[in-house]
């Protein structure tokens, strides 16, 4: 961790962050949400299920789930047992099933059956933290309120010297000043794509990385 702190301390983050963004955008193209959904509520459900689970698996699970329940009110009436059965393969299914059901009930009771469109309201929903709320606000409502920080974003941002923090909340605060608001969500998606293809958790394939000439960690991880 000391090495990451040294990189973070001496690197001109404001200068290099746009360079990283442009090179990743050129490599991966325009990005969109990796989860399939048809409404803000379905997006919320999909994001909840994506915790500790691949987007590919979530996209295999949600068609049957979305077909079974027509809208948020139907989810609110679902039993815990049925919901667990439908989301079982995504892992941590008991908590996920409970959060989906409890969030549905709160949305029906408190928000008139509509997914709320502010950070403070979304954070009231069971199982919703800033990462999930940022996805909902950006993708469903077109509002870039913050930067989505998952494990890929955190890991690669540290390797790039953009942060030395470990908690998603602190990483987000380090990243927010580095790029224009309009780029916040796409930046996260680009890092996720890069983290899956090249800069993986187990090994960074620096030899084929488009950032290798400007990355302070190239060849060291």
Query: In angstroms, rounded to a whole number, what is the distance separating the alpha carbons of residues 33 and 111?
Result: 25
The owner of tokens 């027509």 is 70
Average pLDDT score over residue span 47-53 = 96
User: Percentage of the chain with pLDDT > 70?
Assistant: 95
Enzyme catalytic residues:
131, 150
Average pLDDT score over residue span 144-154 = 96
User: pLDDT tens for residues 83-138?
Assistant: 999 999 999 999 999 999 999 999 999 999 999 999 999 999 999 999 999 999 99
Q: Which domains does the chain have, with CATH numbers?
A: 2-30+147-208 (1.10.1670.10), 40-141 (1.10.340.30)
7-26 exposure pattern, b = at least 16 Cβ within 10 A, e = fewer: bbeeeebeebbeebbebbbe
Smallest Cα–Cα separation from 103: which of 142, 82, 129?
129
**pLDDT value at position 167?**
95
Smallest Cα–Cα separation from 146: which of 124, 113, 165, 120?
120
Q: pLDDT category, 10, cuts 50, 70, 90?
A: very low
The overall pTM is greater than 0.85: yes
As given in the structure block, the two tokens for residue 22 are: 């442009």
């Amino acid at each position: 961790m000391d090495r990451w702190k040294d990189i973070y301390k001496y690197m001109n983050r404001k200068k290099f962050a746009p360079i990283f963004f442009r090179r990743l955008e050129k490599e991966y193209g325009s990005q969109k949400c990796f989860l399939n959904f048809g409404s803000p509520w379905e997006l919320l459900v999909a994001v909840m299920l994506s915790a500790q689970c691949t987007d590919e698996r979530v996209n295999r699970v949600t068609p049957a789930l979305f077909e079974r329940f027509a809208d948020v009110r139907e989810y609110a009436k679902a039993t815990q047992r049925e919901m667990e059965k439908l989301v079982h393969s995504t892992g941590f299914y008991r908590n996920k099933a409970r959060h989906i059901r409890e969030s549905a009930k709160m949305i029906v009771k408190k928000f008139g059956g509509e997914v709320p469109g502010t950070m403070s309201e979304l954070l009231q929903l069971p199982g919703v933290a800033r990462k999930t709320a940022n996805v909902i606000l950006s993708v469903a409502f077109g509002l870039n309120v913050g930067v989505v920080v998952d494990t890929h974003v955190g890991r690669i941002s540290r390797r790039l010297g953009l942060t030395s923090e470990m908690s998603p909340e602190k990483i987000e605060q380090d990243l927010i000043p580095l790029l224009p608001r309009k780029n916040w969500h796409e930046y996260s998606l680009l890092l996720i794509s890069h983290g899956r293809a090249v800069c993986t958790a187990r090994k960074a394939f620096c030899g084929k990385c488009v950032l290798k000439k400007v990355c302070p960690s190239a060849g060291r991880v």
